[in-house]
Chains A and B, each alone.
Chain A
């Protein structure tokens, strides 16, 4: 039977969805350090869609590819606990400061290095930036078709894939060739939880840097069980033009950052008059709480 090689692009992100009062600094701005680092939610939806293909076509493999600092290896392990087979951590100072285009370029070069794949699946967008740009830009860099806003992979065969897209007012079913880049939207099925057997199998999975830092590099464990090696890719492992990396390779620059101030104060009484409600709405608009 046909098997598929699937690459899932994933990102470790600060959990910006639930910024409650405990993640606020005294001045009302968000305390980013207080936010836990998590597997980007829609990338988990993407992983689930990949796992369903693996369920249906045993022998298929799923590789997680992420770009980030060393600690991003956490989400590769998390993916393995849920059914991914291996992972690649693309990590290098040269990638720091990348905008979406420079990120997509680096990822596309890593994918070219991985070489064999039938499908590339990722979340529609990451919750720290909400741009939804990396998926389509990776597709363009690899000269592959892209299908965005996918809610369900309905059918796969050796040559094509049928997908249900979630649009503003309805759904669209499309048939795309293999390989393609597919971005999965948050309304797709949630990802299955960790599997106890896989948790035991992969809990010692580490990158080479993590092994060195833990002084475990000498352990025969890693040569006896090659699946415990999370591959680390640096800029030297992928073929790149340095001018397209990091800050230099990013056409967009951040000119200015304003912190949104969400002040938690004592309850303020507002009279139900036009004037007072207008004032309240104006404050909410000015503080970017709404609008």
Chain B
């Protein structure tokens, strides 16, 4: 009882990375609290799924296996999780901050009247003193997350209600195998006792892969490339940096005209005007037309070989060097140290 639970997302028989990352974090929290780590696997054809989970230090795997449970729909999954939590009374429950976790989490927290913090960037254990009531809460989950468009970092706690629930985005926590020989036990869930026929009122008609439209206006981090990137292939480095930082790729007009990027990514007078938290200008000289579209960015990093490039005059950081050598270094450091 009062263990740590992780809801695991499973697609085509494979546990999602975000869930394995949460199990890794859950394991270290469980060690700190001296409790068990339990995983929830809900889906179809889940035979042997525990083999993917045990190595991350999972002590118990709750398996709900029924062909009606995949692909994910809100109501049956939330019915199962709510009832399981009512029985098992976890102290902490973690989910991925994905379209599934951010759909399921709030529904479950509302049904259980427990607190949920979305998109945490850090989870820690700590105490809390309520001075007015002279009450001390031991070993709470500190749920740390940015808010207000990333301009503040808030530490959220749930002193009275359980489970303490949090979602975390993919890539925020580190994924690490505890031990290849770690083993636990499987506890099958009796699905029919947990779901009602009316949980299946929402029907999935179709699912397919489709490319997302670019929306530079809402990106907090923009990695922009100019003519100095040299080629469309070299732009791939920008996509990689943008992906690891959780940002979006933009381009100057010269780069768009040269065919390095699509027009929808163009920043400047004839493109989009952006004001992100961080604008990384790569191989961009920074003509006035381009600067007009990005000069109000909160922070600007300029990477180019020209010490006299106009972009440098509005940048907070200027890196004089070959962008194709600088970017891999940024990616490498970030990957190794952002966890």
**A residues with CB within 8 A of B:** 14, 16-22, 24, 29-30, 32, 41, 99-101, 104, 127-137, 139-141, 145-149, 162, 165-177, 180, 186-187, 250-260, 262, 264-265, 267-272, 274, 277-278, 280-282, 284-285, 288-291
Q: Is the Cβ of A133 less than 8 Å from the Cβ of B109?
A: yes
Q: Is the Cβ of A174 less than 8 Å from the Cβ of B202?
A: yes
Contact with A along B291-334 (1 / 0, CB 8 A): 00000111101100000000011011111111001100110011
**B residues with CB within 8 A of A:** 71, 73-75, 78, 98-99, 102-103, 105-107, 109-111, 113-119, 121, 128, 142-143, 146-161, 201-210, 212-213, 215, 217-218, 221, 245-246, 275, 277-278, 296-299, 301-302, 312-313, 315-322, 325-326, 329-330, 333-334, 337-338
CB distance from B68 to the nearest CB of A (A): 15
Indicate the member of A129, A136, A256 with the most B CB atoms within 10 Å. A136
CB distance from A109 to the nearest CB of B (A): 14
Given known A-B contacts A149-B103, A252-B115, A290-B278, A186 and B215 have beta carbons under 8 A apart: yes
Q: Is the Cβ of B118 less than 8 Å from the Cβ of A133?
A: yes
Instruction: Please give me the residue from chain A that is nearest to B246 by CB atom.
Output: A290
Contact of A265 among B99, B160, B202, B316 (CB under 8 A): B316
Complex alpha-carbon distance, A282 and B109, angstroms? 35
Tell me which residues across on chain A come within 8 A of B105, comparing CB atoms. 133, 136
Tell me which residues across on chain B come within 8 A of A252, comparing CB atoms. 115-117, 143, 156-158
Indicate the member of A186, A255, A256 with the most B CB atoms within 10 Å. A255
Given known A-B contacts A20-B275, A268-B316, A251 and B158 have beta carbons under 8 A apart: yes
Q: Is the Cβ of B215 less than 8 Å from the Cβ of A187?
A: yes
Complex alpha-carbon distance, A180 and B203, angstroms? 13
Main SS of chain A's interface residues?
A: mixed
Complex alpha-carbon distance, A154 and B265, angstroms? 28
Tell me which residues across on chain B come within 8 A of A281, comparing CB atoms. 330, 333-334, 337
Q: Is the Cβ of A255 less than 8 Å from the Cβ of B99?
A: no
Given known A-B contacts A145-B74, A267-B318, A272-B321, A172 and B278 have beta carbons under 8 A apart: no
Complex alpha-carbon distance, A148 and B100, angstroms? 9
Indicate the member of A131, A169, A175, A271 with the most B CB atoms within 10 Å. A131
